[in-house]
Amino acid sequence: MTGSERSSADLDYRRRKVLYRSWHRGMREVDLILGSFADGEIAGLSDEELATYEALMAEADGDILKWVTGEEAVPARHDNPVFAKILTYREAPLA
């Protein structure tokens, strides 16, 4: 998998930008985790959920990976329903 297989044609500018950034972060493992999540959920996120997701994306890839894998506890500021949704995508097989 080299990136998003989802078309961004039906997305507004903000969601297109977030989708792109989800797949182009720098650490491939985090690209796959966040990119898969964004492919499946970006269109359905409310503005509030999108803001929560954008705040998570501002964190360092290494930190996100540690939180997702359980190597470190998720900080309270990111322990929310959006992060829980991301974890469900992490558990799905990455083809």
Quick: pLDDT tens for 51-72. Answer: 999 999 999 999 999 999 999 9
pLDDT at 61: 97
In angstroms, the CA 7 to CA 86 distance is 20
In a domain, 55, yes or no: yes
In a domain, 23, yes or no: no
In a domain, 2, yes or no: no
In angstroms, the CA 38 to CA 32 distance is 10
Above pLDDT 90, what percent of the chain? 78
- The two tokens of residue 57 are 């994306």
In a domain, 11, yes or no: no
Please determine, for residue 81, whether its predicted confidence score (pLDDT) is greater than 90: yes
Quick: pLDDT tens for 22-32. Answer: 999 989 999 99
In a domain, 76, yes or no: yes
DSSP for 35-83, please give it. Answer: HHHHHHHGGG--HHHHHHHHHHHTS-HHHHHHHHHTSSPPPGGG-SHHH
Structural domain including 48 reads 28-91
Cα maximum dimension of the chain: 37
pLDDT at 1: 45
Is this prediction's pTM over 0.95?
no
In a domain, 64, yes or no: yes
- Domains in the chain, number: 1
In a domain, 14, yes or no: no
